[in-house]
Structure 1
Amino acid sequence: MQLQSLVISLAAALSAWSLPAAAQGSDPLRTAAEKAVATNPEVTARFNAYRAAADAVGIARGGLYPRLDLNASAGTERERDERLGPATRKVDRTAVGLSLTQLLWDGLGISRDVDRLTHERLARYFDLLEATEQTVLEATRAQFDVQRFRRMVQLAEDSYVQHRYAFAQIQSRVKAGVGRGVDLEQAAARLALAESNLATEQANLHDVTARYLRVVGEAPPAQLSAPPLLKNGLPGSAAESMNTALARSAAISASIESLRAVRSAGDGARSAYHPRVEARLRTTSGNNLDGVEDRTRNSTAEIVLNWNLFNGGSDQARVRQQVNLANQAADTRDKVCRDTRQVAAIAFNDTRKLTEQLVYLERNTLAIEKARDAYRQQFDIGQRSLLDLLNAENEVYTARRAYANAEFDLALAYARAQAAMSQLSTQLGIARVDRVAEQAAGWAAGDDAPARCPADAVEIRASDRAALDARADALMKNAPTR
């Protein structure tokens, strides 16, 4: 439970850059997001990768400290000196020793390695933040989709009921001898289509429920409240949304730290051009040390220098390799920035366009429902054909389905826009400040900010409705009279 609590805290550590928690999300949505963050294997894998990276820093830093070794030995030595004749001298020896080694200079190789691993640790930290934010978004998407297809099933059931009623009505007329058999066949065909639509929506509901189970780790509740519109904290313009997303993106921060890690590795590769200097202290106690009879102690203090003068060109090739890897990391950073820019731009635009689209879809649905009701009344008195009535029923079903989809698409668009700015978890009220977040306190991109990722907003010219209306009026004037 301590690990899960820490992961949840890390999921919301973006609050260091985000707005105060607004807690707009409903309790079921917040609960689902928390469970997804705490139990999702991808998040916990990133968390363990972060911990491993933190341990790697400690491993590298250990090379800066003295090394103390204890060694012991016991054995027999046989020596034969030709100057003293053919006799062989046998010496039994034992020894216990301590050796102390301290690195004095290695061309800053270990220091550069510590810098590299420190940047990699921060990169894994930002990877964890990105994974948690995306997991919160996936949990939100999963719950919205469950609600969406529950609505779709309900609409398909209503459509089936209406077609079943029309079929029964026509069947009754045919049996009474006042209806046509072809009308009954047509009603049966439309009823079969309604049954097919219902089966399709039920299959879709099954699939999104299975995805919810995968993301959150448990089945969705039987009752879910209407999806919230997470509007709080959203900028008022596309340009501001873009700038906010690029400034707060954990994915961009991770790519910048990866670039810095590669640069540190390049600096470390140049340490091979320098000598390695060590101070060594060694003392040994025992009997007949080094094969010398009656020697009981041996102590040494020395400075050791080792300088590789030729290594087949491997060191120069390694430096060139690191330069190319740094260029690759810079390219990856710019690509991540462009991807983030695209996601933020599309999500923000969707919130605007879907809001506008819902108004038109509502008008469409209300108009078609009124037309369907009028068609039914006219059909009952013989002024409309069965085909007119069935077509009207299908149009009502299609209009209601389009409106419901747009409602859920809008709710999801707001969630996507929040996630693009790395503040969705904050908006759902699960943000908690944890000391681990201090790892990135005061972090800045500096001169390593993406170079090929302008924050320009996409501007699409809106259609001139007055001009379109004028074109329609012109068609009316030129229409042939009857």
Structure 2
Amino acid sequence: MPSVDLSYSVGPEVTKTINNERERESLTRQDASAVLVQNVFSGLDTTYAVEQQKALISSAGNTVKENANELALAASTYYIEVLRTHELLQIAKDNVAVHKKYLSQIDEKVKAGVGRSSDYKQTLARYENALSIQFLAEQNYDNAVSSFERILPGNLGAADLEKPSVGNIPANDLESLVKVAMENHPKITVSHSDIEVATAALKRSDAPFYPKVDIKAEAYWNKNVHGVSTGEPSLSPYEEDSGYNALVVLSYNIFNGFADKANKEASRHRLLNKNSTLADARRYIRAYTEIAWQTLESTKQQLVHLDNTIKSSGETVADYEKEHELGRRSIIDLLNIELEYNSAKNRKVTAEYDRLIAYYQILAYTGKILEEMNITVE
């Protein structure tokens, strides 16, 4: 688009020039003009400037999507951590209750003279350790709630949340999943937009090496300029002058202290940097997509064996209790199997929630998490 400028100036002017034969003149000078300039050629600077701005808008929009994608993953992770730490806390409390029960039983036997003091001391040590684990679990739960509140402010706890489940993933094998991630992850689209911005900037840096051509149309009106008026129109025909012109103006800078060359070199390095950022983003996304996929598959297998372990350990606990009543098992034997049973339950909870986090990581890395959550970014 052309540029149009209007100008008007007024003020006193004192002159002594050859136009008024070196006679001192003090007049009120007035200037007015209207100038239209239409650029015809500027080394394609305007063309690439428009291209650069479009790429900047695209980059900004994709950055919003990237931030939303990361926020959704963070919210999912903290949400899951609240549920995970709450389940681990419940297991820790149950473990304390079991130790307290057995500690009471062995205390009665010691006082009755049929139990060993060493068994009581060992059970007491295990009870104290179970209490310390419970306090640590409470701390972890409180920390998880606080972290979640940073994302979603409010007095929310595990009782307010529903445990999610693993749904469908965008592909059935790792390579297909990585391909989807490379095509859809917002970080990749942001990097592509940034490369477009840098490419347009590099092309723009060539513009100063070309001449500039403008069409310039001007209309002007002057009064009492350069002291050529006596202030009396009847005595001087030169009190006012006006006119207009239309020109083709060609300008060509042939030396600028190597600034243009330096700017072009800087633009080239910025483009190299953006390409490097894209390559790094691809490596990052590939690596973490693979990790998430491997975690998803590994925990699936772990849970099968952990379920069997918990089932067998639970049955063993029941058998040990019966054998203890018959005098064939000691309290320490019961504590040992309870420890094994408790450890299996902890591992199952950890594996279950690791699997959930891996699922949401896959959705985030493939750019599908917002769609899964029915979130629209505008």
- 1:171-202 CA deviation, whole Å, 9 max, x = no partner? 22222232222222222111111111111111
**Which of 74, 77, 99 is the aligned partner of 2:13?**
77
How many angstroms does 1:423 deviate by? 0.9
RMSD of aligned residue pairs (Cα, Å): 2.1
Partner residue of 1:227?
Answer: 164
Distance 2:48 2:20 in 1: 56
Specify whether residues 86 and 256 from structure 1 end up closer, same or farther in structure 2 by C-alpha distance, changes over 3 A only: closer
Distance 2:213 2:22 in 1: 44
Distance 2:266 2:349 in 1: 55
- 8 Å Cα contact 1:212/1:218 also seen in 2: no
Please give the residue correspondences for 1:421-436 in structure 2 after superposition, counting only pairs within 5 Å.
421-428=366-373, 430-432=374-376
Partner residue of 1:36?
Answer: none
- 1:213-257 CA deviation, whole Å, 9 max, x = no partner? 1122334353322222122x4322112112111122221121122
Distance 2:276 2:20 in 1: 74
How many angstroms does 1:84 deviate by? 6.8
Distance 2:113 2:160 in 1: 47
Distance 1:274 1:185 in 2: 91
- 8 Å Cα contact 1:133/1:422 also seen in 2: yes
- Which segment is superposed worse, 388-397 or 78-87? 78-87
Asked whether 1:339 is paired with 2:284, we answer yes
Distance 1:220 1:171 in 2: 41
Partner residue of 1:118?
Answer: 54
- 8 Å Cα contact 1:212/1:219 also seen in 2: no
Distance 2:327 2:226 in 1: 120
- 1:437-457 CA deviation, whole Å, 9 max, x = no partner? xxxxxxxxxxxxxxxxxxxxx
How many angstroms does 1:83 deviate by? 9.1
Partner residue of 1:250?
Answer: 186
Distance 1:111 1:291 in 2: 46
- 8 Å Cα contact 1:227/1:408 also seen in 2: no
- 8 Å Cα contact 1:289/1:298 also seen in 2: no
Asked whether 1:318 is paired with 2:299, we answer no
Partner residue of 2:71?
Answer: 135
How many angstroms does 1:203 deviate by? 0.6
Amino acid at match of 1:226: K
Partner residue of 1:295?
Answer: 240
Amino acid at match of 2:162: S
Specify whether residues 83 and 258 from structure 1 end up closer, same or farther in structure 2 by C-alpha distance, changes over 3 A only: closer
Distance 2:202 2:298 in 1: 48
**Which of 297, 310, 321 is the aligned partner of 1:376?**
321
SS in structure 2 opposite 1:144? helix
Distance 1:415 1:427 in 2: 9
Partner residue of 1:357?
Answer: 302
Partner residue of 1:417?
Answer: 362
- 8 Å Cα contact 1:372/1:392 also seen in 2: yes
Partner residue of 2:252?
Answer: 307
Partner residue of 2:138?
Answer: 202
How many angstroms does 1:286 deviate by? 5.4
Distance 1:291 1:386 in 2: 118
Amino acid at match of 1:387: I
- Which segment is superposed worse, 202-211 or 215-224? 215-224
Partner residue of 2:233?
Answer: none
How many angstroms does 1:424 deviate by? 1.6
Structure 2 gap segments, 5+ residues each: 230-238
Amino acid at match of 2:156: P
Distance 1:327 1:431 in 2: 35
**Which of 392, 396, 412 is the aligned partner of 2:337?**
392
SS in structure 1 opposite 2:205? helix
How many angstroms does 1:131 deviate by? 1.6
- Which segment is superposed worse, 392-401 or 65-74? 65-74
Distance 1:142 1:362 in 2: 26
Asked whether 1:101 is paired with 2:101, we answer no
Distance 1:113 1:119 in 2: 10
How many angstroms does 1:335 deviate by? 1.3
Partner residue of 1:60?
Answer: none
Aligned sequence identity (%)? 23
- 1:100-155 CA deviation, whole Å, 9 max, x = no partner? 22222111112212212211221222222222122111111111111111111111
SS in structure 2 opposite 1:407? helix
- 1:59-90 CA deviation, whole Å, 9 max, x = no partner? xxxxxx12222222111111123797764111
Specify whether residues 84 and 208 from structure 1 end up closer, same or farther in structure 2 by C-alpha distance, changes over 3 A only: closer
- 1:277-300 CA deviation, whole Å, 9 max, x = no partner? 222233334532454431153434
Structure 1 gap segments, 5+ residues each: 1-64, 437-482
Q: TM-score, normalised by structure 2?
A: 0.90
Distance 1:203 1:373 in 2: 32
Distance 2:19 2:247 in 1: 33
Distance 1:361 1:76 in 2: 97
Distance 2:289 2:29 in 1: 75
SS in structure 1 opposite 2:160? coil
How many angstroms does 1:360 deviate by? 0.5
- 8 Å Cα contact 1:281/1:300 also seen in 2: yes
SS in structure 2 opposite 1:234? coil
Amino acid at match of 1:123: S
Asked whether 1:327 is paired with 2:272, we answer yes
- 8 Å Cα contact 1:73/1:95 also seen in 2: yes
- 8 Å Cα contact 1:289/1:297 also seen in 2: no
Asked whether 1:175 is paired with 2:111, we answer yes
Instruction: Mark the structure with the bigger radius of gyration.
Output: 2
Partner residue of 1:276?
Answer: 212
- 8 Å Cα contact 2:202/2:268 also seen in 1: yes
